[in-house]
């Protein structure tokens, strides 16, 4: 089906289902649901047909609230090896006005938002606030932290409504932990886990689900049994033992354990409580912004290519206000499609799955054209 026809069909579906949906749910929720679903349909079309200019928006978002980190894990941009000089990664914190502009632009179309990339998200004092702001578009958020920080706003984190938090702890003893999480503090991390668990209990909150992630290497595989016992007694919800990506190119003494079977242990799981926490996001919707997006038909967002008149190739209509730092779509060295970031003020990236088949990890490469 030609693109123009497909887009009209999507508009028609939205128009037809909106009256029915708003009988079952508040108008804002109905609009948001249709925005997300119609964007997904268009995204799939543009992916399958290998469009290089897009009218659909990224449906999986990544935002790094802080670029810096005081740890020096191998192969990370913060490594302490000689390779560090190859990474141009100035520190900085994401500011609220930039995040707000990003959220107003992309939030209504997103299905999730990951608050981390190559920095320590909890270094930014505003991170709990950013998580809370994402609720305006019912975006389930998740993040990953080393927890090796002296100051953490535990209550703020729980109150933010963050659904899921990965705790990066690859050891059951300090000596082993420090081989990978260089410059970390194992005792501090364990203490912070306890404080986070206590804050959740105090506030009677099931979320954030605490997911202890243990990367299994040759140097820590002997502590797998111990970490299972430790995690089980500490009140975290889950523990996963996973095969990391190799880092020997940066630190030859660290090698991965080949053929390690990924394993996830569930300690305290309550799907009903989790669903209830996600449902609570629906009460904080920003109906004004949602409505602004909803009023723009998809067919008004395309312009046929003038030279060929080929409707399958479209040009994105940039009518929504975008901050300069997130404006350009470009492809980085490894082929990821990304909208640019501003490393000095925190890093924003939006990535789009552009392959027809893929994992549920919704990051994507641009099609080869």
Ligand X SMILES: C[S@@+](CC[C@H](N)C(=O)[O-])C[C@H]1O[C@@H](n2cnc3c(N)ncnc32)[C@H](O)[C@@H]1O
Residue numbers at the binding site for ligand SF4 (CB under 6 A)? 69, 71-73, 76, 78, 118-120, 146
Cite the beta strand spans of 69-122 per DSSP E: 112-115
Partner whose footprint covers residue 220, from ligand X, ligand SF4, none (CB < 5 to 8 Å by kind): none
Shortest distance, CB of residue 197 to ligand X, whole angstroms? 18
Closest approach of ligand SF4 to the CB of residue 175, in Å: 18
CB of 108 to ligand X, least distance (A): 26
| Least distance CB 155 / ligand SF4 (angstroms) | 23
Our CB check for ligand X shows the closer of 66 and 281 to be: 66
CB 31 within 8 A of CB 87: no
- Residue 362 binding result from ligand SF4, ligand X, none, given CB thresholds of 5 to 8 Å by partner type: none
Beta strand pairing status for 209-215 and 164-168? parallel
Could you say which of ligand SF4, ligand X, none residue 152 binds, taking C-beta under 5 to 8 angstroms by partner kind?
none
Residue 71 or 239 having the CB closest to ligand SF4: 71
Interacting partner of 247 out of ligand X, ligand SF4, none (Cβ under 5 to 8 A depending on kind) = ligand X
Q: Measured from the CB of residue 76, what is the shortest distance to ligand SF4 in angstroms?
A: 3
Residues 6+ apart with CB under 8 A from 154: 195, 196, 198, 199
Report the C-alpha gap between 355 and 363 in whole angstroms: 9
166's contact among ligand X, ligand SF4, none, with CB below 5 to 8 A by partner kind, is ligand X
- Closer Cβ to ligand X, 76 or 277, answer by number: 76
Binding residues for ligand X, rule: CB under 6 A, are 69, 73, 75-76, 116, 118, 120, 144-146, 166, 168, 213, 215, 244-245, 247
User: How near is the Cβ of 306 to ligand X at its closest, in Å?
Assistant: 44
Residues 6+ apart with CB under 8 A from 355: 47, 364, 365, 367
Helix (H) or strand (E) holding 293: helix 287-294
Return the number of the residue (78 or 293) whose C-beta is nearest ligand X.
78
User: For ligand X, which residue has the nearest CB?
Assistant: 244
d(CA 344, CA 350): 17
**Which of the listed partners (ligand SF4, ligand X, none) does 78 bind, with a CB threshold of 5 to 8 Å by partner kind?**
ligand SF4
Q: Which two tokens stand for residue 264?
A: 């996830």
Asked whether 94 and 122 are in contact (CB, 8 A), the reply is: no
Whole-angstrom distance, CA of residue 154 vs CA of residue 192: 9
Region label for 331, one of left (φ > 0), alpha (ψ between -120 and 50) or beta (otherwise)? beta
| Pick from 68, 59, 62: nearest CA to 87 | 68
170 or 286: CB nearest ligand SF4 = 170
Burial of 206 from C-beta contacts in 10 A (0-12 / 13-18 / 19+): middle
With CB under 5 to 8 Å by kind, the binding choice for 213 among ligand SF4, ligand X, none is ligand X
> Residue 85 Cβ, how far from ligand SF4 at the closest point, in Å?
16
Residue closer to ligand X by CB (options 21, 188) is 188
> 366 is written with which tokens?
């641009």
214 membership: H or E segment, kind and range: strand 209-215
Identify what 244 binds: ligand X, ligand SF4, none; CB under 5 to 8 Å per kind: ligand X
Instruction: Report the nearest approach of ligand X to the CB of residue 73 (Å).
Output: 5
């Amino acid at each position: 089906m030609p693109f123009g026809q497909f887009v009209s069909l999507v508009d028609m579906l939205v128009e037809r289902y909106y009256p029915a949906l708003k009988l079952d749910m508040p108008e804002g929720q109905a609009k948001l649901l249709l925005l997300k679903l119609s964007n997904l349909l268009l995204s799939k079309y543009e992916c399958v047909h290998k469009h290089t200019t897009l009218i659909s928006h990224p449906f999986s978002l990544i935002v790094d609230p802080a670029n810096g980190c005081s740890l020096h894990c191998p192969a990370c941009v913060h490594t302490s090896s000689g390779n560090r000089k190859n990474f141009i990664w100035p520190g900085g914190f994401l500011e609220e006005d930039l995040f707000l502009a990003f959220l107003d632009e992309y939030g209504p179309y997103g299905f999730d938002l990951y608050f981390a990339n190559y920095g320590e998200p909890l270094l930014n004092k505003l991170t709990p606030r950013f998580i809370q702001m994402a609720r305006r578009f019912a975006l389930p958020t998740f993040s990953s932290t080393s927890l090796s920080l002296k100051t953490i706003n535990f209550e703020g984190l729980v109150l933010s409504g963050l659904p899921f938090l990965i705790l990066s702890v690859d050891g059951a003893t300090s000596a082993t932990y420090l081989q990978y999480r260089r410059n970390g503090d194992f005792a501090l991390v364990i203490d912070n886990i306890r404080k986070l668990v206590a804050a959740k209990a105090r506030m009677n909150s099931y979320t954030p689900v605490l997911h202890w992630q243990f990367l299994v290497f040759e140097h820590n595989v002997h502590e797998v049994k111990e970490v299972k016992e430790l995690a089980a007694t500490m009140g975290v919800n889950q523990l996963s033992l996973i095969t990391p990506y190799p880092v020997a190119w940066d630190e030859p003494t660290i090698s991965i354990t080949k053929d390690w079977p990924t394993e996830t242990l569930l300690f305290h799981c309550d799907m009903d409580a989790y669903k209830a926490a996600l449902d609570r996001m629906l009460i904080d919707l920003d109906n004004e912004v949602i409505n602004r997006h909803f009023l723009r038909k998809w067919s008004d967002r395309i312009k046929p290519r003038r030279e060929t008149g080929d409707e399958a190739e479209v040009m994105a209509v940039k009518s929504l206000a975008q901050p300069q730092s997130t404006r350009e779509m470009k492809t980085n060295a490894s082929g990821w499609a990304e909208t640019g970031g501003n490393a000095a003020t925190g890093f924003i990236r939006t990535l789009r799955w552009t392959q027809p088949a893929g994992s549920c990890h919704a990051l994507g490469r641009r099609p080869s054209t």
